[in-house]
Amino acid sequence: MDKLIIVKIGGNVIDDDEKCMDFLKSFRAIEGKKILVHGGGKLATSLAEKLSVQQQLVEGRRITDAETLKIITMVYGGLINKNIVAQLQAFGCNAIGLSGADGNVIQAHKRVHASIDYGFVGDVDAVNASLLNNLLQQNITPVLCAVSHDGKGQLLNTNADTIAEETAKALAPFYAVDLLYAFEKAGVLQNANDESTAISELNTQSYAHLKANGAIFAGMIPKLDNAFNALRAGVHKVIIGKAETLTDLINGTSGTSIVHD
């Protein structure tokens, strides 16, 4: 089975031109088939401020209203996606930028919730593995932004972590998929305040143990639950770690690997 590396890059790298350039150089250097998934960082927030588009909160949750969706479509689908693609092309990586509407690559539905209307937020229904596969076979590198569509003409703001996870699952039948979450921390930390305490490997047993003793908590729990879901769905390995060390994350000398038991 061919190897496929899917990297999700966090906003903190997107927001920093120099970090982003370094990251794209390391990404370009990955041999073989690869996919990049990116979110948005602070650019969308700062554009919303400049345009006086207020952030809507309902019951403490952030809502994507029509104006915010326009900003997200412009910033994620246009500004960030096209600049990443142009830069990868300059580095000799034949990238193609896609929203979920393009080639129907990520189909989703507007989030259904008992009490909160999240607005134009999408939960993923299906990933078009056949199109992605076709591009990968031509040595083209898809660059996915965090925008999906509902198949009825509506674009939807969609969590980039979820897009990466769903894409990894959809391609797992065709490739040995490594899914990398490249973010600002060195991995899953034993001590949240000490970057040197990254756990090198985690399976369901060690995860349960670390949750029980309180070392893993808060925002890291849904992230790791998703990672284990991806493994159960056939993804080969999930790796979480610092974007600056992408090469080391891939060769396993940095970050936390979430692995099968």
Of 15 and 184, which CB lies nearer to a second copy in the complex structure?
Answer: 15
Q: Are 109 and 122 in contact (CB under 8 A)?
A: yes
* Site membership for a second copy, residue 113 (CB under 8 A): no
Cα angle 37-252-90, degrees, rounded to a multiple of 5: 40
Q: How far is CA 112 from the centre of its chain?
A: 22
Provide, rounded to whole angstroms, the least separation between the CB of residue 27 and a second copy. 14
Q: Which of 12, 87, 159, 203 binds a second copy (CB under 8 A)?
A: 87
Q: Are 215 and 148 in contact (CB under 8 A)?
A: no
For 79-101, b/e burial (b = at least 16 CB within 10 A) is ebbeebbebbeeeebebbbbbbb
Binding mask 153-172 for a second copy (x = CB under 8 A): xxx-----------------
Q: Which of 112, 152, 196, 251 binds a second copy (CB under 8 A)?
A: 152
Q: Which range of residues in 12-20, 80-88, 113-121, 177-185 is near a second copy by CB under 8 A?
A: 80-88
* Site membership for a second copy, residue 126 (CB under 8 A): no
* Site membership for a second copy, residue 115 (CB under 8 A): no
* Site membership for a second copy, residue 98 (CB under 8 A): yes
* Site membership for a second copy, residue 73 (CB under 8 A): yes
Residues at the contact surface with a second copy, assessed by CB under 8 A? 50-51, 70, 73-79, 81-83, 85-87, 89-90, 94-99, 101-104, 131, 134, 138, 140, 147, 149, 151-155
